[in-house]
Structures are given as C-alpha cells and as structure tokens.
Amino acid sequence: QKEVEQNSGPLSVPEGAIASLNCTYSDRGSQSFFWYRQYSGKSPELIMFIYSNGDKEDGRFTAQLNKASQYVSLLIRDSQPSDSATYLCAVILSGNTGKLIFGQGTTLQVKP
Amino acid sequence: NAGVTQTPKFQVLKTGQSMTLQCAQDMNHNSMYWYRQDPGMGLRLIYYSASEGTTDKGEVPNGYNVSRLNKREFSLRLESAAPSQTSVYFCASSTQGNSNQPQHFGDGTRLSIL
C-alpha cells in the first residue's frame, strides 16, 4: 500500500462547477497535509495546507481533513479552465523525520 | 529573489556516465530535498537533508549519492547512470523539515539517459 494515494484521473468538470479531489494516507500519526498544483512542464506550487480536522478555506479553494478516516480533500469552487493541472497531495510523515511524501497526483480538466 | 536554483535544466547522458545535479537556495532554509518525477508516479523522495551536515535516504535512494555542501547547496550525484534514471529531478527546500512549513521547489532538471 502506498503511503499517500490519489485517483490519477483525469477528473473532468465543466467550467463553473465544483471540482473535488481526494487523497488518503496510511500513516495515522501524520500531522501536516499539503496540496500542490503542477502545470504541465512546471514545478509544483503550494496552494493549500491544513493541520487540523475540519475545513480550511482560501478563496475558491477549501481543504478538508478527517484524521480518523485518514482522508484529505481539496474542493475547487467555480472551476476555471486555468485550474486545469495536476493536483498533488503531500503528507509529512510522523516520527520527526521531515519526510514529505507525495501521492501520484490527480489530473483535473476544466472544460469551457 | 531566485528561491531555489537548479542546474543544469536539461542533460543527456550515456549509460554508465556520471553526473552531479546542483541545487542552491537563497532563503536561509535549513532543510533541502531531492525528488524525481516519472509519468503517473507523482514525486518520489530520493534523499533529504534536515539540516547542514546531515543527510537521510528517502523512498528511492538506490543509484544516487548526495552532498550537503553548506547551508545553501545540496547536490545529487549519479555515479553510473542507467536508463531507469531518466526522469525529471526537482530540488526543494523548507524552513525546517520536521515543522509544518511547506517546501519550495526549483524549476527541475530534465535528465535523459540513453
């Protein structure tokens, strides 16, 4: 079992819809969770981080964390074609190692 | 305001050749990381350095060595390149590895091994 798992997609949504991206992780002691966006041929850029159970909102983005279910998600409201990219979920493992482990990424396509 | 700088941006090697990928950051970060990214695989951690003077293995360290030259620089060496090491390599840095601080990435090195 991979330590961080995502559905590779592609996830296709119409412009203006809500895109929902999901991620599960295996290390129950993990405390820090990140969402990165990566455009084709570019490096990853951080868009959200979340440390506590519940929701965290930043503009059109909402990160949701459920530690009991070992599940983290990213919602993108009013999706735009410019949101089309690969979204990478990343988790810092427990044990004070500093290791950040990434999922394989979900490709999002927003169609005009 | 360069952030994380990787050199070279592109490289083609023959099987068995050696090469060092360079990475430098100007953000006074303590922790630095090397990842490789293959299609459909996300980013996989090769090695990381939590602080100057320390290095540790990540998920896929075989075939690689690293050197934390000083606080700014963290290099990745392929001693005898193999076609399986064809990939995009990213260097990243963060304030402190075991904190909640996010990582900042360089632009990547696209490496092809024939």
Q: pLDDT tens, B4-52?
A: 999 999 999 999 999 999 999 999 999 999 999 998 778 999 999 988 8
What is the Cα–Cα distance from A45 to A87, expressed in whole angstroms?
Answer: 10
Cβ neighbors of A59 (< 8 A, separation 6 or more) are: none
What is the Cα–Cα distance from B21 to B91, expressed in whole angstroms?
Answer: 9
What is the Cα–Cα distance from B2 to B6, expressed in whole angstroms?
Answer: 10
State whether residue A44 sits within 8 Å of chain B by CB.
yes
Name the pairing type of β-strands A4-6 and B31-37.
Answer: unpaired
Percentage with pLDDT > 90 across chain B: 76
Nearest to B92 by CA among B107, B110, B111: B107
Q: Which of B98, B99, B110 to mutate to test the interface with A (most CBs of A within 10 A)?
A: B98
- On whether the CB atoms of residues A108 and A84 are closer than 8 A, the answer is yes
Q: Do B45 and A92 touch (CB under 8 A)?
A: no
Name the pairing type of β-strands B74-78 and B64-68.
Answer: antiparallel
Residue A1's pLDDT band, with cuts at 50, 70 and 90, is low
A8-12, B27-31, B61-65 — most confident range: B61-65
Q: Which of A92, A93, A94, A106 to mutate to test the interface with B (most CBs of B within 10 A)?
A: A92
Exposed / middle / buried, residue B78 (Cβ in 10 Å: 0-12, 13-18, 19+): buried
